[in-house]
Structure 1
Amino acid sequence: MLALLGATTLMLVAGAPWVLPAASGGTNLKSPENGRVCIIDDNFILQWNGSRESVRNVTFSAEYKIPGMENWKKLPGCQHITGTECNFSSVKLETVYEKIELRIRAEKGNSTSQWHELKPFIPFQEAQIGPLDVHLEAEDKAIIINISPPGTKDSIMWAMDRSSFIYSLVIWKNSSSLEERTETVYSRDKIYKLSPETTYCLKVKAELRSPRRVGFYSPVYCINTTEKHKVPSPENIQIDAENQVYVLKWDYAHENTTFRAQWSQCDSSCTCYVLNLEYLTHGRDLFFRTHLFHESLK
C-alpha cells in the first residue's frame, strides 16, 4: 500500500512541471525558463517556456528595471498572467537606446518561484520593422502608392529614422505571379508601365541601411487599373528651377488642349501639402512659385 501511494505521489509531481517537492513538506514553484523578448515596431512582447501540461491556478508576473532605478518595478501588462506571454508596450521608456532588465516568476496562492532573469537588452537593437499599411489609387497605366511609415505617428522606436527608410516593392499581375518585378519606391510614388483594365497585386517592405535592418512584407494588396484613357497623357515632363521660380515643361502631340497639374509633397511626419494648378492654357510651359497649402485646408 505504501509503495502504491509513493508511486501515485510521484505521478502527480511528474504531471505538474511547475510544482516541485519542498523539503519542508510544502510546495516550491519551478521558475519560468527561456525568457525572451520580441519587439516589432512599438509592440513589446515578453515570452517564456510553459509546461506541456497545465497546472491549475499558476500565474506569472514580471518586473523591470532601467538605468537610474534602484528598485524593481512591476511590468505593466505582465501581472498574474495565465499564459506564457504578455504585452508590455505600455511601459514608459524615455529612450529605446538604454538597457532594460526583466525578470519573471511563477505564482500560486502565497507561493512564488525564484525569479528568472533575462539578459539585459537595448530595445532598439532588438526591434524589427513590422508590416506596412499601404493605400493604392488606380489609373489606366499606373498605380499611385501611399505608404505609411513603420510604427505609429508617435512612435518612439523609429522617431529618429522616419526619413531614412527605404521601401522595396514587389508587383505582379494577378493572373501570373511569374511576371514579378521589384522596385525601390518613395512613401508616395507611382508605378508606371502597367496595362489598363488589369488586376495587379503588390507587397511592400521597409529597410534601414544603418543599422542594416529589413522589415516584414506588408499584406498583399490588389487593385484593378482603369480603362484606357481616350485622351493621351503628356510626355517628357521636366522641371527647370532657378531661385524660387520653377518651370514645368511637357510634350503633347495634339493642339487645342488644356492641362491640369498638381504637385504634392509629404514631409517626414507624413504631413502632406498640395498645390493645384488647374485649367492651364494651350502652352507647353508653366511658371509658378513655391506657395503651398495644407491638405486639410483644401
Structure 2
Amino acid sequence: MSAAMCAFILTLSSALGPTVVSGVLGAPTHVRLTSYDMNLVLMWDPPEGPASSIVYSTQFKSSVSLDFDKVGCVNISNLECDLSRLNTIFQYAKYTGRVRAQSGTESSAWMESNPITLDKDTVISSPDVSLSSNGAAIEVSIKDPVFMISALREVYHSATYNITYWQHGQREKARSKSNIQQSRVVLNDLDPWTKYCVQVQIIITDRNPSKPSAAVCESTTSKAEAPWVAAVVTFGVVAMSVALVVVAVLYRKHISHFLCPKDALPQHFKEYLLAPPNSSMYLAMRNSHPPDEIYNQVSVIADGRTPEEPLEAAGSKQPDAT
C-alpha cells in the first residue's frame, strides 16, 4: 500500500471520529450529581445511538479520596442511582460520581459528574406551615423539612425563618418578620375579623435560601383580651389559694376549737340536770302499782263430731246456761 493511500485512510478515520468503529458502546451523557434535602443522587441520560439491553454501573468518591473507591449501583437499568442510601455519606464532604454503560460484553468509558459539596449545594425544600387563630392574633407553627442525613438544625446552626404575611388579596402590601428562630410565632398586629395569608422561607448564611412554602390562610376573630389580664387573674387566684393554706396551717388549733368547741357546762347546769325529779306527778307514777287485769277462764271441750259432719248438726246442742 502506498504512503499516499495510508495517509488518506488515517485522515478519513480522524474526520469521521470513533463512532465509525464497530464494537464500541457509547457512554452515558449529561451525567450530573444532585442533592435535595441532603441526599446524593447520580443521574444521567442514555448513550446516543441505538442500543439494547443496556445496564449501568456507578462509582463515587469523596474529597478525601483521589480514586473512585466507593461502589454505587451495579447493573441497573434505571437512569439514576441514590448514593445516599449506602450509609457512607457525610454532610460536609465534597463528592463526585461517574457512570458507565454495559451491553453484553461491551462496556463504555466512564463519564464523570460535576462535584458537589452537600452542605453548600443541597437544595432545601420549603418548610411545613400551619396556622391557628387566637382572637385577633394568628399563631404560625413551622416544621423543618426532613433531611436524608442528619437534621436541618444540626447542619445549619444559624438557620432562621423569614415570615411574610398579608391580608387576603393584598399581596402587594405584605409585611414580614425576619431572623426568627422559634418554630412558633404569634402575629398580633392584625385586624379582627380579617383573613390573612402566610408564607415562610428558611434563610441560611452564605448559601441560597430554601424554597418558600405554599401560602396558608387563616381568619382572625374578635379582639382578644390583653395577655396581662389573664396573667393578673391567674396570679390573684394562686396568691389567694396560698394565703388560705398558710392561714389554715398557722391557725389550725383556733379553727378547730371554733368548729368543735370543748367548753364545759356551768356547775349549776350540771347540778340541775343531774338532780332527781321531784314533781308530784312523777312521784305518783313511780310509786303507783300496775292495775289488776280482769280476765275469765275458758275451757275447750271436744264434741266428738267427725270432720265431715256439718257444723249445723254439731252446733244444735247448746250447753245449759247456769
Letter in 2 for 1:178: E
**Aligned pairs (5 A) from 1:54-203:** 55-66=51-62, 67=64, 72-76=69-73, 80-83=76-79, 85-93=80-88, 95-152=90-147, 155=150, 159-161=154-156, 163-184=157-178, 185-186=180-181, 187-203=183-199
- Give the corresponding residue for 2:215: 220
> In structure 2, what is the Cα distance between the partners aligned to 1:63 and 1:118?
10
> How far apart are 1:31 and its partner, in Å?
1.0
> How far apart are 1:213 and its partner, in Å?
3.2
- Give the corresponding residue for 2:313: none
Q: CA 1:94–1:153 in structure 2 vs 1: closer, same or farther (change >3 Å)?
A: closer
Structure 2 stretches of 5 or more lacking a match? 1-17, 240-322
**SS, match of residue 40 in structure 2:** strand
Q: CA 1:279–1:169 in structure 2 vs 1: closer, same or farther (change >3 Å)?
A: same
**SS, match of residue 120 in structure 2:** helix
- Give the corresponding residue for 1:5: none
> In structure 2, what is the Cα distance between the partners aligned to 1:88 and 1:29?
25
> How far apart are 1:133 and its partner, in Å?
1.4
Q: CA 1:110–1:219 in structure 2 vs 1: closer, same or farther (change >3 Å)?
A: farther
Q: CA 1:138–1:122 in structure 2 vs 1: closer, same or farther (change >3 Å)?
A: same
Find the partner of 1:280 among 213, 235, 247. Answer: 235
Letter in 1 for 2:78: T
Contact preservation (8 Å) 1:99, 1:122: yes
**SS, match of residue 146 in structure 1:** strand
Contact preservation (8 Å) 2:26, 2:48: no
> How far apart are 1:280 and its partner, in Å?
3.4
Q: TM-score, normalised by structure 2?
A: 0.57
> How far apart are 1:65 and its partner, in Å?
2.6
> In structure 1, what is the Cα distance between the partners aligned to 2:170 and 2:152?
38
> How far apart are 1:104 and its partner, in Å?
0.6
Structure 1 stretches of 5 or more lacking a match? 1-18, 235-249, 253-258, 262-277, 285-298
> How far apart are 1:52 and its partner, in Å?
7.9
> In structure 1, what is the Cα distance between the partners aligned to 2:24 and 2:125?
40
**SS, match of residue 124 in structure 1:** helix
> In structure 1, what is the Cα distance between the partners aligned to 2:50 and 2:226?
66
> In structure 1, what is the Cα distance between the partners aligned to 2:49 and 2:176?
47
**SS, match of residue 65 in structure 1:** strand
> In structure 1, what is the Cα distance between the partners aligned to 2:35 and 2:94?
14
- Give the corresponding residue for 1:292: none
Deviations 1:199-235 (A, max 9, x none): 32221111112x343221112222233x204x6324x
Deviations 1:134-171 (A, max 9, x none): 2322222221112223444962675242x411111121
> In structure 2, what is the Cα distance between the partners aligned to 1:179 and 1:79?
56
Structure with more helix by fraction: 2
**Which is greater in Rg?**
2
> In structure 2, what is the Cα distance between the partners aligned to 1:153 and 1:102?
18
**Aligned pairs (5 A) from 1:11-90:** 20-23=19-22, 27-50=23-46, 55-66=51-62, 67=64, 72-76=69-73, 80-83=76-79, 85-90=80-85
The percentage of counterpart residues that share the same residue type is 23
- Give the corresponding residue for 1:239: none
Contact preservation (8 Å) 2:57, 2:75: yes
Letter in 2 for 1:281: G
Equivalent residues, number: 219
- Give the corresponding residue for 1:233: 226
